[in-house]
Amino acid sequence: MSVKAGGLEFKNPVLTASGTFGYGLEFMPYGDLSRLGGIVVKGLSLEPRQGNPGPRIVETSCGLLNAIGLENIGVEAFIRDKLSLLPWDRTAVIVNLYARESEEFGELAAVLADQEKVAGLEVNVSCPNVRAGGVQFGQDPALVGEVTRKVKDRAGSKPVMVKLSPNVTDITVLARAAEENGADLLSLINTLSGMAVDIRTRRPCLANTTGGLSGPAIKPVALKMVHAVCRAVKIPVIGLGGITTAEDILEYLLVGARAVQVGSGNFQSPDKSFQLVRDLENLTGELGIASWEEYRGSLEEWGR
Ligand SMILES: Cc1cc2nc3c(=O)[nH]c(=O)nc-3n(C[C@H](O)[C@H](O)[C@H](O)COP(=O)(O)O)c2cc1C
């Protein structure tokens, strides 16, 4: 079941997605964290953040809309209070980085570069750049390149994964910008921009008015983007978006992903990711999949 990708090693292809699995420790009552392929922790910034006022998460008919606003305890508190309690020697702990300027991304990488308990860094570029008037880093290839380079330069030997935003015209352009500037891996997708309104109160359902859509609704969109990006770059790709079954995981691997992350599925049931590891083992046995190398990207396209 193990997977090697961009300098990282996972005991199986099932990782948890940032922001949907806390700092990992919250899920200890529901399963053995060391059984997971990897844990991507909540996005961390240099300073603690309170995030947006509520309501900041709402369920739609086909997924979740959230505008949490990157609430987190700050990178120093994570290192001091949480990191050692995770089974970092038995599963890959990946820290998701959040910043409002590219310099800050570099500073975060420098703080984490010599933390032996951290396996790798994931750069969340789906956040506004205050220097560029609030434009998301992830929507501008030049900014994606700049942030990737800043993190890579200060990350020491830590593999750097850039997490792409789907809210763009052509995601392969952003994928190449990250690759050309030193990214070791890519992960995609982050949430899709969306909105929900309440016809009775006549208010947006989220205090922030708009938010990010996740869950089963976004899986076909994400799968298409993962398929396209796997063909556009040489570095490994981690796929995510709407995964709730082992079949979903195999779909991502079939189009070329090296591993996956489970996000909103963890809200359906807190033991979801643990269950998916077991289900994937059973399903690969049932389908006679002998190795990931043979299965990955083996999609047979229809002739044109
Ligand atoms: C409540 C919530 C919080 C999230 N926080 C983060 C975050 O801090 N950093 C990040 O890169 N992505 C964050 N995400 C995005 C997820 O990691 C993931 O990319 C997205 O939800 C799509 O996957 P899914 O459909 O499996 O949920 C968050 C998603 C949700 C639902």
- Residue 275: predicted pLDDT: 98
Q: Is residue 228 part of a domain?
A: yes
Q: Is residue 233 part of a domain?
A: yes
Residue 127 pLDDT = 82
pLDDT band for 303, please (50, 70, 90 cuts).
confident
- pLDDT score of 47: 97
What is the pairing mode between strands 92-97 and 63-66?
Answer: unpaired
Ligand 1 atom 5 nearest Cα: 19
Q: What is the mean pLDDT of residues 215-232?
A: 98
Q: Is the pLDDT confidence value at 119 over 80? A: yes
265 falls within a domain: yes
Confidence tier at 131 by pLDDT (50, 70, 90): confident
Q: What is the mean pLDDT of residues 142-149?
A: 97
Is residue 63 included in any domain, yes or no? no
pLDDT in tens, 232-268: 999 999 999 999 999 999 999 999 999 999 999 999 9
For 170-195, give one letter per residue: b (16+ CB within 10 A) or e: ebbebbbbbbebbbbbbbbbbbbebe
pLDDT classification of 91: cutoffs 50, 70, 90: very high
Contact 87, 25 (CB under 8 A): no
pLDDT category, 215, cuts 50, 70, 90? very high
Atom of ligand 1 nearest to the CA of 215: 25
Pocket of ligand 1 (CB under 6 A): 17-20, 42-43, 57, 64, 66, 68, 70, 96, 124, 163, 190-191, 214-215, 218, 240-243, 262-265
Between the CA of 198 and the centroid of ligand 1 the distance, in Å, is: 24
Q: Whose CA is nearest to atom 11 of ligand 1?
A: 124
Is the separation of the CB atoms in 92 and 129 below 8 Å? Answer: no
Q: Is residue 204 part of a domain?
A: no
| Ligand 1 atom 22: residue of nearest CA | 241
Give the model's pLDDT for residue 134.
75
Average pLDDT over residues 120-141: 87
pLDDT tens figures, 8-38: 999 999 999 999 999 999 999 999 999 999 9
Q: What is the torsion angle, in degrees rounded to the nearest 10, for the CA atoms of residue 174, residue 180, residue 184 and residue 189?
A: 0
DSSP state of 146: H
* Average pLDDT of the segment spanning 71-80: 98
Domain assignment present for residue 62? The answer is no
If you average pLDDT over residues 106-135, what whole number do you get?
Answer: 91
Strands (E) in the chain, as ranges, are: 3-5, 8-10, 14-16, 38-44, 57-60, 63-66, 92-97, 120-124, 160-163, 185-188, 192-195, 197-198, 203-204, 210-214, 237-240, 259-262
Contacts of 266 (CB under 8 A, 6+ apart): 16, 17, 20, 21, 27, 272, 273
User: Ligand 1 mean position to 304 CA, how many Å?
Assistant: 36
Task: Report the pLDDT value the prediction gives residue 304, as an integer from 0 to 100.
Answer: 65
Q: What is the mean pLDDT of the chain?
A: 96
Question: Annotated active-site positions, please?
Answer: 127
Question: Closest ligand 1 atom to the C-alpha of 57?
Answer: 1
CA of 153 to the centre of ligand 1 (A): 26
Specify the CATH number for the domain of residue 218.
Answer: 3.20.20.70
Residue with CA nearest ligand 1 atom 12: 18
Q: Is residue 121 part of a domain?
A: yes
> Is pLDDT above 90 for 133?
no
Instruction: Count structural domains, the chain.
Output: 1
Q: 100 is in which domain, residue-wise?
A: 3-51+69-196+214-295
- 300 within some domain: no
Tell how far the Cα of 41 is from the centroid of ligand 1, in angstroms: 10
Q: Which residue has the higher pLDDT, 62 or 109?
A: 109
Whether the predicted pLDDT of 132 surpasses 80: no
